[in-house]
Structure 1
């Protein structure tokens, strides 16, 4: 009986250590900050309709280099004199869509970006930041399954008709893994959108 009790304790210790490591806050990976600021007009250029090529890692956080690629259509509308924007991103080959809501805090001069997908229906925690020139960076915290992650969105306004977005997670507080990219090309809004949403 005593042998069994000792074995039980030995087995519990690693499990407790794993649980504790999952609850500990991650250190800040390179570049991470919640103090980056921007301007109320940062996303004005993105109004209207866009076609986009999406690339997403098949598996995140395991060192995979296998990507899946698929098209999408995005339609964005500004609100409240530009301090809020809403866009819907439709993935015709996936059968689902996503919604992005951005709000600008005039006092902090900072954007908060929220995402919800039609698959889950859950509003994800925001990333915060703004643009410096044509490049914007936004950071926050989330969970990927049971694993805590630091999150980075990066926007690149390449020119008036092209943009690139990237999402990266840090699982260890030291390195970033880019797991989703999107290349955007401006399209004809009347053709791509109806009432501010992608045509189905």
Structure 2
């Protein structure tokens, strides 16, 4: 008689973002103008995020409804994250009601030692910029996302947006 062999869990990276499924309260801390390398004024505001898996678990969608930042308007954000099992990378797209009809260039990256790092190159205000998203899942009930820009090809980084997530459900 042979013993039953357990079904192996796929560990290629497709489950790296599973921690984010659910409903979250999001505390935002953002530079007033993240595209201005000289800006030092931060604003803080709240948001609620709902994240659900799609495409058989190889992706998920994230809808965020944000309160009005000081001096700004409320907005809605939408993120699509998709895993490419062959390349073993995640691609992340962002759209916002602040820029109707625009889908940002995809970020690309992966997780290592509990930290997800994702990069892309953009042109903002006529300047070439390297963009980095960094994710850290602190616990089942909290997580942190940070966005940083580099104007020197990644030699130095300047964080311009931080989101601290607290699970609601």
Normalization by structure 1: what TM-score? Answer: 0.72
Deviation at 1:79, TM superposition (A): 0.9
Which blocks of at least 5 consecutive residues in structure 2 are unaligned? 1-11
Task: Determine which structure has the larger strand proportion and give its number.
Answer: 2
* Cross-structure match for 2:161: 180
Specify which structure has the bigger relative contact order, considering alpha-carbon pairs within 8 angstroms and separated by 6 or more residues: 1
Matched, 1:63 2:44: no
* 3-state DSSP of counterpart to 1:120: coil
Q: 1:151 aligns with which of 128, 131, 137?
A: 131
Q: Answer yes or no: is 1:132 the counterpart of 2:112.
A: yes
1:84 matched to 2:59? The reply is yes
CA distance in 2, matches of 1:52, 1:96: 13
Instruction: Find out whether 1:112 has 2:86 as its counterpart.
Output: no
Paired with 2:21 and 2:78, the residues of 1 have a C-alpha distance of 14
- Look up the match of 2:150: 170
User: Which residue of 11, 18, 25 corresponds with 1:44?
Assistant: 18
Residues in 2 aligned to 1:92 and 1:139: alpha-carbon distance in whole angstroms: 27
Q: CA deviation at 1:92?
A: 2.5
Is the helix fraction higher in 1 or 2? 1
Measured in 2, the distance between the counterparts of 1:107 and 1:133 equals 21
Aligned: 1:72 with 2:47 = yes
Cα distance in structure 2, aligned partners of 1:79 and 1:120 = 24
Please report how far the alpha carbon of residue 42 of structure 1 lies from its aligned counterpart in structure 2 after TM superposition.
0.8
TM-score of the superposed pair, with normalisation by structure 2? 0.85
Report the CA distance between 1:57 and its aligned residue: 0.6
Q: How many residues align structurally?
A: 151
Alpha-carbon separation, structure 1, partners of 2:57 and 2:86: 15
TM-align CA RMSD: 1.2
Distance apart, 1:64 and its partner CA: 2.5
Q: Please give the per-residue CA displacement for 1:121-155, whole angstroms capped at 9, x wherever unaligned.
A: 20000111111132110011112221111010000
Q: Which runs of 5 or more residues in structure 1 are unaligned?
A: 1-37, 189-200
